[in-house]
Amino acid sequence: MRTLVARGIFAAVVTISASAAADVAWVGDFEDGTVDQWDGALNAQNISVVTDPAAQGSYAAQITLTNDAVWPNGLKRVELHHGPDPARTAEGAQTFFAWSFYLPETLPTDPSAQIGYWESDQSYQQMMAFQVEGERITFATRRPQNQIHWDQDGAVTSGAWHRIAMRIFWSKDEAQGQVDVWFDGAQVVTGAQAQTLADDNPHFTQVGLLRGQVEFADSPVILIDDAVEGDTLEDVRPDALSQGTGGGGGSGATSGSTTSGGATTGAGPSSTSSAGSGTGAGTGGASADGGGDEDGGCRTSGRGDATALVLLGALGLIVSRRRR
Band of pLDDT at residue 11, cut at 50, 70 and 90: very low
- What's this model's pTM, rounded to 2 decimal places? 0.72
Residues in the chain: 324
CA dihedral 73, 210, 54, 321 (to 10 degrees): -90
User: By the 8 A CB rule, do 211 and 146 touch?
Assistant: no
Contacts of residue 176, defined as CB under 8 A and 6 or more positions apart, other chains included, come to: 169
Residue type, 245: T
pLDDT of residue 90: 98
* Strand 94-102, strand 113-120: pairing: unpaired
Q: Single out the residue of 113, 104, 115 nearest to residue 79, CA to CA.
A: 115
- Cα 200 to Cα 115, 192, 245, 276, distances in angstroms: 25, 21, 36, 21
Q: Report cis status (omega within 30 of 0) of the bond before 84.
A: no
Angle at 312 between CA 306 and CA 317, to 5 degrees: 130
Looking only at Cα atoms, what is the longest distance across the chain? 76
pLDDT digits (tens, 9 = 90+) for 262-284: 333 333 333 333 333 222 223 22
Interval 242-262 mean pLDDT: 42
CATH number of 30-236: 2.60.120.200
Helix or strand holding residue 15 (H, E): helix 2-22
Helix (H) or strand (E) holding 303: helix 302-323
> Which residues pair with residue 193 across a beta bridge?
178
3: exposed, middle or buried (C-beta count within 10 Å: 0-12, 13-18, 19+)? buried
pLDDT in tens, 103-148: 999 999 999 999 999 999 999 999 999 999 999 999 999 999 999 9
> DSSP 3-state assignment of 139?
strand
Quote the DSSP letter at residue 233. H
Three-class SS of residue 152?
strand
Query: How is the chain split into domains, by residue range?
Result: 30-236
State which H helix or E strand residue 180 sits in. Answer: strand 178-183
**pLDDT interval class at 243 (50, 70, 90):** low
